[in-house]
Amino acid sequence: MYDGCCDEKLSLLFEFQNATKLYSARVSAMAEATAGIIPSAEFARLSDIASQAHKNCLEARTHLFKHVEEHGC
Ligand SMILES: [Zn+2]
């Protein structure tokens, strides 16, 4: 997987890893906020941010898989 023969794949992989990290950071932030008592509007905001991060994560994953499929790399 890390054969280094395809720069585009590496950059897609990097993007996916970043999106995953960001998503997990958002989820932890939401979990921490939930542990305290926060207003429901604030919780909704954090929840939106987390679901957007999740969406980005899935998109990055799709891009990566699509590239591998099309490129055969
Ligand atoms: Zn490729």
Domain parsing of the chain, residue ranges: 8-71
What residues contact residue 26 under an 8 Å CB cut-off, 6+ apart? Answer: 46, 49, 50, 53, 54
Q: How far is CA 72 from CA 4, 20, 39, 66, in A?
A: 14, 24, 49, 10
Question: Ligand 1 (ion): which residues have CB within 5 A?
Answer: 6, 9, 71, 73
17-30 per-position pLDDT tens digit: 999 999 999 999 88
CA 30 to ligand 1 centroid distance, Å: 36
What distance in angstroms lies between residue 3's CA and the mean position of ligand 1's atoms?
11
User: Considering the entire predicted model, what is its pTM?
Assistant: 0.80
Q: Is 57 a residue whose pLDDT tops 90? A: yes
d(CA 6, CA 12): 10
CA of 55 to the centre of ligand 1 (A): 23
Does the pLDDT at position 2 exceed 60? no
